[in-house]
Amino acid sequence: MAYMSQEKKKSIHEKIKPLLKEYGVKATMSVEHSSTLNLNIKSAKIDFIENYNEQAKRHDFRIREGYLQVHQSFVTEKVRPWFTGAALEFLQKAIAIMNEGNHDRSDSQSDYYDVGWYSYINIGSWERGFIFEAANE
């Protein structure tokens, strides 16, 4: 059964802080329903939304405005990448840190799900959209 404690979240947050600083990302972490770890990106020097939309346009998918929940497959899919460049690099590193020590012994064919915890990256939120902090030239 999936479980995420506040103590584990604090430990992961300490590991992810240097990555946030390196890429100029402002974010918080939260635990939802004691089973899900969320990285909530408020603003960044990387325009995650525009980067996603560039790929979405190519594949005739819905364009996002203001917020986006990143599923791990958006970052790991090789055939149709949803992110590129620095955005992809950051997300891959963040997901790796968020899932250190996690397990996934799920079998969707038999409707059996066994994970240590679920993890999501939220870029912006419905109430407050993502803020792209363009570098001042």
Kindly report, residue by residue over 110-128, the tens digit of the pLDDT.
Answer: 778 789 999 999 999 989 9
Mean pLDDT over each residue of the chain, to the nearest integer = 91
* Residue 75 forms part of a structural domain: yes
pTM of the model: 0.89
How many other C-beta atoms can be found within 10 angstroms of the C-beta atom of residue 51?
A: 20
* Residue 137 forms part of a structural domain: no
What's the domain range around 46? 6-105+112-126
* Residue 136 forms part of a structural domain: no
pLDDT at 109: 79
pLDDT at 93: 96
Contacts of residue 24, Cβ cutoff 8 Å, sequence gap at least 6: 44, 45, 46, 133
* Residue 101 forms part of a structural domain: yes
pLDDT at 101: 94
**Residue 137: pLDDT above 60?**
no
Cα–Cα–Cα angle for 40, 82, 121, rounded to 5 degrees: 15
Count of domains observed in the chain: 1
* Residue 88 forms part of a structural domain: yes
Across 43-56, average pLDDT: 94
DSSP alpha helix (H) spans, the chain: 6-23, 48-58, 72-76, 85-98
| Residue 13 or 82, more confident | 13
104 vs 2: CA distance, rounded Å: 10
* Residue 131 forms part of a structural domain: no
pLDDT at 136: 57
* Residue 97 forms part of a structural domain: yes
